[in-house]
Amino acid sequence: MNAKDRLIFPLDVPDADQACKYVRLLSNQVGVFKVGLELFVSEGPSIVDAIANLTEAEIFLDLKFHDIPATVQRAIRSASCLQKASFLTVHCDPVLLEAVVTEVDDNIKILAVTVLTSLDSKALMSLGIREDLASEPIHLVLQRAAIAKQAGCAGIVCSGREAAAVKKKFGANLVVVTPGIRPDWGDVEKDDQARVVTPYQAVKNGADYIVVGRPIRAADDPVEAATRVVEEIERGLKER
Ligand code: C5P
């Protein structure tokens, strides 16, 4: 994989016009375009075809499914757009993950969401997680990564801070995707990400893919910002 192939750009925009604008603009810098809830809810499955018609890049359907297994299985059966997607996210629940893995074709990698990068220790405790587990999110991330592996998932989503420990324990057999990326050269206003690292650090720590949204979208020149991120990925790869 080239450095570029490891950069995931989230199309966190409200409509197809804006999404297609970013796909055209960034296809030379980005390996994977991510369709999240905002765009999927507004445009529906046809957005996946629209993107696939514009780019050779892969498509990541980040719907973060979280419901009873039968409901999620039925949703997957009715989602023909999954044929064009390479990644799909599901929240970490052993029975749910197993049900999803048996439902999808080989073309799609199921990624289990471990602990959202917007959650810090305080937030985890307020959700009822025991203090000894919540104090260091890595404990929960490793526990949930083991659940994902056992269920047959291709990979997990966690923060770049946890990537090294996950790679040490699970090696190349579990793909690690890390959002919560903040280059030290870009400012994101009103940030909701809590467990952040730079692109270089995430890749050096072992992340296979990094999700970089606002630092690219909010830049005066998104193409230049994406190019800088790819350079950092290259640097991180050399040093691991
Ligand atoms: O770089 P930025 O913060 O803008 O990236 C936001 C994107 O990262 C959103 O699309 C969000 O869904 C995604 N994300 C994720 N998993 C997390 C946290 C954020 O996929 N744990």
* Complete DSSP assignment for 164-176: HHHHHHHGGGSEE
Residue 195 Cβ < 6 Å to ligand 1: no
Which whole-number Å values give the CA distances from 225 to 99, 138, 201, in the listed order?
Answer: 39, 30, 17
- What is the CA(75)–ligand 1 centre distance, in A? 22
Q: Nearest C-alpha to atom 6 of ligand 1 is from which residue?
A: 213
Give the side-chain half-sphere CA count within 13 A for 128. Answer: 0
Query: Would you state the pLDDT for residue 240?
Result: 87
| pTM (two decimals) | 0.94
Residue 198 Cβ < 6 Å to ligand 1: no
Residues 6+ apart with CB under 8 A from 113: 64, 89, 90, 91, 92, 156, 157
Residue 10 Cβ < 6 Å to ligand 1: yes
Please give the chain's pLDDT, 240 residues, in tens.
999 999 999 999 999 999 999 999 999 999 999 999 999 999 999 999 999 999 999 999 999 999 999 999 999 888 877 889 999 999 999 999 999 999 998 889 999 999 988 888 999 999 999 999 999 889 999 999 999 999 999 999 999 989 999 999 999 989 999 998 999 987 666 566 667 899 999 999 999 999 999 999 999 999 999 999 999 999 999 998
CA distance 147 to 168: 16
Query: Would you state the pLDDT for residue 191?
Result: 64
Pocket test for ligand 1, best of 117, 211, 212 (most atoms within 8 A of CB): 211
Tokens linked to 191: 């940030």
Question: Is 64 noted as a catalytic residue in this protein?
Answer: yes
Query: Would you state the pLDDT for residue 82?
Result: 83
Query: Would you state the pLDDT for residue 192?
Result: 67
Query: Would you state the pLDDT for residue 119?
Result: 85
Domain covering 4-238 in this structure, CATH number: 3.20.20.70
User: Given the structure tokens 């009822």, which residue do they identify?
Assistant: 128
